[in-house]
Amino acid sequence: MMTSSLRIIALAAAVSTVAFAAQAKNPMVGGAEMYDNKNIVENAMNSKDHTTLVAAVKAAGLVETLQGKGPFTVFAPTNEAFAALPKGTVETLLKPENKAKLTKILTCHVVAADAMSTAIEKMIKDDGGTHDVKTVGGCVLKAKQSMNKITLTDENGNVADVTIADVKQSNGVIHVIDKVLLPKM
């Protein structure tokens, strides 16, 4: 009787350890595991879905900033989101003469805070269904919740869905989005 009780306890402990380890696993983004001890740039560089974003961050000279202490919340558009812009837009923005415009667009995806989705959802609820998100670039995004997803609307009415939320970083959090958010120009 005592041995079977010990076996049950040992089995329960093993199962709970495995369950905890599975729960604590780092999220996958763009085929790469994201590590909460790496910064935003280090993790983004490993995501196959964010090569355009990384190239844009480099062209805008924002690598050092996004490797900094933070905290930052980055709404990170995928390669598909950039590809959906009008033909030639990305190539034009990556030119040195368009650095200021590119920087403005990218910083409209960054908030100077560590805002996990639960905090954003609470702000949306507290504000009656829409929360104004002020970005580092001076843009105001409208955050809403629709069918258990957070959406962001830019100053031009473009709506992005958060497709992967709460990707913890050493200096903040990334929320993957499916559209590029643009400032009013």
Residue 19 has pLDDT above 70, yes or no: no
Strand locations in 84-130 (E): 110-111
Entry pTM: 0.83
Of 114, 120, 172, 125, nearest to 141 by C-alpha is: 120
C-alpha to C-alpha distance for 131 and 121, rounded to whole angstroms? 9
Q: Which domains does the chain have, with CATH numbers?
A: 2-177 (2.30.180.10)
Q: What is the pLDDT of residue 15?
A: 40
Residues in contact with 70: Cβ distance below 8 Å, sequence separation at least 6, in sequence order: 39, 40, 112, 114, 169, 171, 172
Strands ordered across the beta sheet of 172-177:
110-111, 72-77, 172-177, 159-169, 149-153, 140-146, 131-134
pLDDT in tens, 112-171: 999 999 999 999 999 999 999 999 999 999 999 988 899 999 999 999 999 999 999 999
- Give the pairing of strands 172-177 and 72-77: parallel
C-alpha to C-alpha distance for 174 and 163, rounded to whole angstroms? 11
In the structure encoding, which two tokens stand for residue 141, read together?
A: 């995004």
Amino acid residing at 40? I
Average pLDDT, rounded, for the chain: 85
Q: What is the pLDDT of residue 33?
A: 83
Query: Is residue 17 very low, low, confident or very high in pLDDT (cuts 50, 70, 90)?
Result: very low
C-alpha to C-alpha distance for 146 and 151, rounded to whole angstroms? 7
pLDDT in tens, 37-52: 888 888 888 888 889 9
Q: Which residue has the higher pLDDT, 34 or 22?
A: 34
Say what percent of the chain tops pLDDT 70.
86
Of 36, 65, 29, 71, nearest to 50 by C-alpha is: 29
Mean pLDDT of 70-81: 94
Q: Which residue has the higher pLDDT, 161 or 15?
A: 161
Say what percent of the chain tops pLDDT 90.
64
Asked if 182 and 154 count as a contact pair (C-beta separation under 8 A), the reply is: yes
